[in-house]
Structure 1
Amino acid sequence: MTILALVFLGIAGVAPAALSPKKIPAWLAPVAALVALAVAAIAGAETTKVSGFALGATAVLTLVAAALGGLPLAPAAFRIARRDATQPTQQPATGGPLKGGRIIGILERAAIAGAVLAGWPEGMAIVLAVKGLARYPELREPHASEQFIIGTFTSVLWAIAAGAIGRGMLS
């Protein structure tokens, strides 16, 4: 079961990049990542404590799944919040009030998953406090606070889920 969990953690990490071409529906990448993470969670719950190579692979694949697997989730959440999937989604990195959101999201998810893996919940508070303080001046722009809250909650929930799967396999 350990190998199955690791394979699906890897799939959760690479699914968004593999399913990003324009010909594929926008909903497919987040759904594939969510399904892969769910299968990894089920398989990970049935594993024993990992050691050796599996220990390192679990840590790396957990961070990859958290950081990269969450990429399509914030835009999907923005589409749901707008309740009109036909509108083009403003990507935080290229449009909308908050610039650099894609890179910040990757770093945020990696840091939060790392804090969960390390069993250091205070690390999550530090990451969110730094992000909030850094974004504070931009949050007065129209729709910026909504984009900030939706994107942050989506990223944090994904990173905690991925980190919890890895943490469960490590302990």
Structure 2
Amino acid sequence: MDMLIDAGIVIGALAVSAALGALLVSVVLRWVEPEGYAPGVLRGGTWIGVLERLAITGATIAGYPEAVAVVLAVKGLGRYPELRATGTDQRAKATERFIIGTLASYLWAGLIGVLATLLF
């Protein structure tokens, strides 16, 4: 029975991290940038965010916080060419949006992971 409860905690934490994290990051970015943002500069950001939150929350629950550094490195290296290829003004906005969204996403995912571990 304990294993089912633990599995429920893990699945619930991953769902909250991924789903509510997307909403949270969206709200934070709208708050920081109320006038809007040029779409298409950093394509796939929503899906990347969901996957990174799943990885960070899962790594935290598994007791492997070092994996957060791996996720951050992969994301940074993966986005670097795209950020460098944009125009100067758009690059500054895209970089700022990338950093704010990433930090909000990571903080949320870490928080959910820690809260889940406290429930075990």
Q: Same fold (TM over 0.5)?
A: yes
Q: Between Structure 1 and Structure 2, how many residues are aligned?
A: 114
Say which of 21, 37, 59 aligns to 2:10.
Answer: 59
SS of residue in 2 equivalent to 1:136: helix
Structure 1 gaps of 5+ residues are: 1-49
Say which of 15, 20, 24 aligns to 1:69.
Answer: 20
User: Which residue pairs with 1:105 in the alignment?
Assistant: 49
Q: Deviations over 1:4-45 (max 9, x none)?
A: xxxxxxxxxxxxxxxxxxxxxxxxxxxxxxxxxxxxxxxxxx
State the Cα RMSD in Å. Answer: 1.7
Structure 2 gaps of 5+ residues are: none
User: Which residue pairs with 1:146 in the alignment?
Assistant: 96
Say which of 48, 52, 66 aligns to 1:122.
Answer: 66
* 1:90 CA displacement: 4.3
Amino acid at match of 2:45: G
* 1:126 CA displacement: 0.4
Runs of 4+ that moved beyond 4 A: none
Q: 1:77 to 1:96 in 2, by over 3 A?
A: farther
| TM-score, with structure 2 as normaliser | 0.87
Structure with the largest fraction of helix: 2
| TM-score, with structure 1 as normaliser | 0.62
Taking only the aligned residue pairs, the percentage that are identical comes to 42
Higher relative contact order, structure no. (Cα contacts within 8 Å, ≥ 6 residues apart): 2
